[in-house]
Amino acid sequence: MNDDNFYSIDRLIEFGMSTAVAQQMVQSMNKAISTMQIPGDFSYINSTKQTFYFAIIDGLQMGPFSEQEISRLISEKKIMKETYIWKPGLVKWQIAEQLPEILKLVALNPPPFDINK
């Protein structure tokens, strides 16, 4: 058998081992990426942890609130665009209209229904 032939047993073993090493490298990189932390964000890239928010409502600091609770407070008009919101990772309190994730919740809330219109 010719050792220079691609189909020789040595080349097939070499190819199989290279494929196995490549698969291990991919698995290792995927694991490293899934646990990677973003500096200053204190969360993982593929994190499924829920973010909690604090809000200043009626002059009092309240929370923590989940996204669902924030959405409910928006629909009840207790949180408006001028309301100060804070979440882990923020340096200081920000008004609601400056936080994209809060604006998303506002957009997902239906407008008030007026039966007279």
- Sorted by where each begins, the domain ranges of the chain are 1-39, 53-108
Beta bridge partners of 65: 53
> What type of residue sits at position 112?
P
Q: Specify whether the backbone of 69 is left (phi greater than 0), alpha (psi in -120 to 50) or beta.
A: alpha
DSSP summary character for residue 85: E
Q: What is the C-alpha to C-alpha distance for residues 111 and 101, in angstroms, rounded to an integer?
A: 18
Q: Which residue intervals of the chain are DSSP H helices?
A: 9-34, 67-75, 100-108
Q: pLDDT tens digits, the chain, 117 residues: what are they?
A: 455 665 677 777 887 888 888 889 988 888 888 777 666 655 555 555 678 999 999 999 999 999 999 999 998 989 988 999 999 989 999 999 899 988 888 888 777 777 776
